[in-house]
């Protein structure tokens, strides 16, 4: 039996590879980023966000409203001081990786485009998860320990990933690095340095204090999220600098989902939809949820014997991405259930996409030097390395929260 060794991208460059590289299939978590309306014209500087605060309301019975007593439409000027930033970096160790010199077709270079594309997909997945759920990407399900944590979403971790922990009574941790992932138990093994062997001590981060895991810089520099905009309690207090409690147009309809069970989830979703459409000002048709919750919904639909039905031909799925099902109730109309990889289990969101827009100044792009180079060169005694940086500057704005709603506190055992 041959030995197994870790070989870097550069080391494998000029090796003969008769077989395709075996790699983990990338799970798509970019539904929000693909679906949300985008405006790529925002340059650096403040972004003005006008909100409707109140509509014309002067109605009089038995006579005209006095001309000096007519209520006008009221608008509020919100603003974002500047775009948020997300950066990604890749490093290569040979000039021909970037300049595509004379290289054999049977070497590692032929998979370079796939490697770059995979990284771009991963970066988009990270941002899309942030845009839906907020700054953290996983929550501890047990107290931390020396060398490991147990989390709700082990699928969002990557070997060698740099992460930070925060909970309610402990300051942000020093950097930890993922050395192993148990996808079945949710146990993540952490060390103090990338490729190191010293265990990272996470014992002070506890379940009682709602310990969470963040990507590098996300605890203070993450983009705004749909979850933060929609939640009345536990969400953002302001949207573009305007207090949500000041105007009903800035308040999404919140429905308590703590009594949802595996058997009543469809009924609760349709009841929530009725409340959201009655109290809100929009027409949400897309119900975003985790695959776990979608599974409960499908089980109810299968066993309901007519109370709920799937529209023929409406079921659509993308490989490793999301699943859409158009569902009808005999009494409450139609809606679209969307199971997405980046959704958390504790919320179900009712979205009218007219309410949300992602502003940027060019979306994702490579950092380009003034001389036109798309990589940054470094020299060491061991040779040259080339760093490629990819960035996205922008911000997510939920301009009409009252068009949307959210079921919160969902916890199905």
pLDDT digits (tens, 9 = 90+) for 40-82: 889 878 999 998 888 888 999 999 999 889 888 888 999 999 9
Q: Which of 109-118, 214-223, 347-356 has the lowest mean pLDDT?
A: 109-118
Distance CA 377, CA 387 (A): 7
Tell me the angle at which helices 265-279 and 291-303 cross, rounded to the nearest 10 degrees.
110
Quick check: pTM over 0.85? no
Distance CA 42, CA 361 (A): 5
Q: Which of 121, 78, 324 is CA-nearest to residue 224?
A: 78
pLDDT in tens, 250-306: 999 999 999 999 999 999 999 999 999 999 999 998 999 999 999 999 888 887 666
Q: What was the pLDDT predicted at 52? A: 84
Contact status, residue 26 vs residue 320, Cβ threshold 8 Å: yes
> Sign of the CA dihedral 346, 351, 356, 362?
positive
Q: What is the mean pLDDT of residues 139-162?
A: 96
Distance CA 230, CA 284 (A): 13
Q: Please list the helix, strand and coil fractions of the chain in percent, rounded to the nearest 5, in that order.
A: 20, 35, 45
Distance CA 124, CA 126 (A): 5
**DSSP assignment string, 15-36:** S---SPPP-PPPPP--HHHHHS
Q: What was the pLDDT predicted at 113? A: 59
Per-residue confidence at 172, pLDDT binned at 50, 70, 90?
very high
Helix (H) or strand (E) holding 90: strand 84-92
Position with higher pLDDT, 384 vs 329: 384
On the question of pLDDT at 164 being above 80, the answer is yes
């Amino acid at each position: 039996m041959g030995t197994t060794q870790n070989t870097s991208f550069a080391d494998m460059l000029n090796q003969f590879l008769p077989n395709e590289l075996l790699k983990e299939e990338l799970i798509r978590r970019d539904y929000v980023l693909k679906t949300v309306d985008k405006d790529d014209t925002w340059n650096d500087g403040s972004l003005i966000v006008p909100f409707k605060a109140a509509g014309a309301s002067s109605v009089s019975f038995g006579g005209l409203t006095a001309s000096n007593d007519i209520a006008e439409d009221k608008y509020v000027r919100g603003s974002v001081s500047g775009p948020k930033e997300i950066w990604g970096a890749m490093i290569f160790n040979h000039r021909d990786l970037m300049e595509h010199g004379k290289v054999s077709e049977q070497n590692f270079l032929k998979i370079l485009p796939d490697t770059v594309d995979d990284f771009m997909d991963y970066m988009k997945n990270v941002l899309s998860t942030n845009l839906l759920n907020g700054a953290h990407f996983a929550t501890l399900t047990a107290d931390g320990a020396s060398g490991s944590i147990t989390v709700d979403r082990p699928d969002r971790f990557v070997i060698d990933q740099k992460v930070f922990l925060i909970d309610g009574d402990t300051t942000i941790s020093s950097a930890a690095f993922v050395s192993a992932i148990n996808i079945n138990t949710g146990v993540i093994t952490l060390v103090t340095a990338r490729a190191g062997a010293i265990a990272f001590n996470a014992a002070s981060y506890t379940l009682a204090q709602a310990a969470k895991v963040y990507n590098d810089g996300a605890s203070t520099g993450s983009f705004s999220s749909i979850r933060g905009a929609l939640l009345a309690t536990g969400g953002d207090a302001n949207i573009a600098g305007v207090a949500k409690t000041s105007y009903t147009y800035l308040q999404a309809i919140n429905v308590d989902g703590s009594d949802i069970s595996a058997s009543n989830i469809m009924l609760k979703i349709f009841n929530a939809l009725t409340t959201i459409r009655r109290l809100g000002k929009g027409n949400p048709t897309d119900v975003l949820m985790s695959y776990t919750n979608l599974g409960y919904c499908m089980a109810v639909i299968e066993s309901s014997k007519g109370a709920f039905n799937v529209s023929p031909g409406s079921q659509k799925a993308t490989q490793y991405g999301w699943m859409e099902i158009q569902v009808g109730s005999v009494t409450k109309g139609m809606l679209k259930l969307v199971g997405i990889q980046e959704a958390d289990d504790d919320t179900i969101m009712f979205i009218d996409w007219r309410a949300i827009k992602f502003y940027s100044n060019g979306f994702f792009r490579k950092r380009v030097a003034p001389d036109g180079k798309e990589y940054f060169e470094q020299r060491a005694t061991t040779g040259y390395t080339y760093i490629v940086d990819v960035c996205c500057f922008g911000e997510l704005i939920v301009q009409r929260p009252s068009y949307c709603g959210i079921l919160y506190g969902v916890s199905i055992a």
